[in-house]
Amino acid sequence: MLVKKTVAIIIALVTILSLVLSACGGGAKAQPITLRIGWAGSIRRLRRGFVADDDSLAVEVIAAAMNGTHNFLGQKHTSRYLKSGEVLLTRLAERGTWEMWDNCGRKGMAERAQAEAERILREHQVPPLEAIQEKELEALMAAAESELVKR
């Protein structure tokens, strides 16, 4: 069973790698992969579930902000929820003011995703496997190979 799972994982990894390489084209047009990384964070947040109570809905806080300064970021409630991780802030979303966005060339999510993909490809360093990991991988590969030879 372990061998079948290992082979499935290896096939999946090779498939993902080939998709990444073909999508990236050597670094060009890599934004679909980067966008999917952002989506993965959103999905992880969705799987945690949501609470819909008076505090999380913040009806009174919203009413107070709308009747006053319209500044939600100045509310303690907003700060508390931002710090708790309730709101997912992706690197790809525009978080600045209109003026900042305009002055920086009005880049959209696709352009930011492309820039992030290029940064990852340029800067990411893969740490080498430890000796024990190398041995485990070799044992898994040998077991998978002997399983495939049986067929």
Q: What is the average pLDDT value for the chain, to the nearest integer? A: 76
Could you tell me the two tokens for 79? 């700060």
Distance CA 133, CA 123 (A): 24
pLDDT value of residue 131 = 92
pLDDT value of residue 56 = 86
DSSP state of 108: -
Three-state secondary structure call for residue 120: helix
Distance CA 34, CA 31 (A): 5
Contact 29, 23 (CB under 8 A): yes
Distance CA 16, CA 58 (A): 42
Q: Positive or negative CA dihedral for 71, 72, 74, 75?
A: positive
Residues contacting 147, CB < 8 A, separation 6+: 3, 4, 7
pLDDT value of residue 11 = 54
pLDDT value of residue 132 = 93
pLDDT value of residue 29 = 57
Considering only CA atoms, give the Rg of the chain: 23
pLDDT value of residue 9 = 57
Three-state secondary structure call for residue 134: helix
Residues of the chain with pLDDT under 70: 1-39, 42, 88-89, 151
DSSP element (H, E) containing 145? helix 131-150
pLDDT value of residue 139 = 92
**pTM of the entire predicted model:** 0.43
pLDDT value of residue 85 = 75
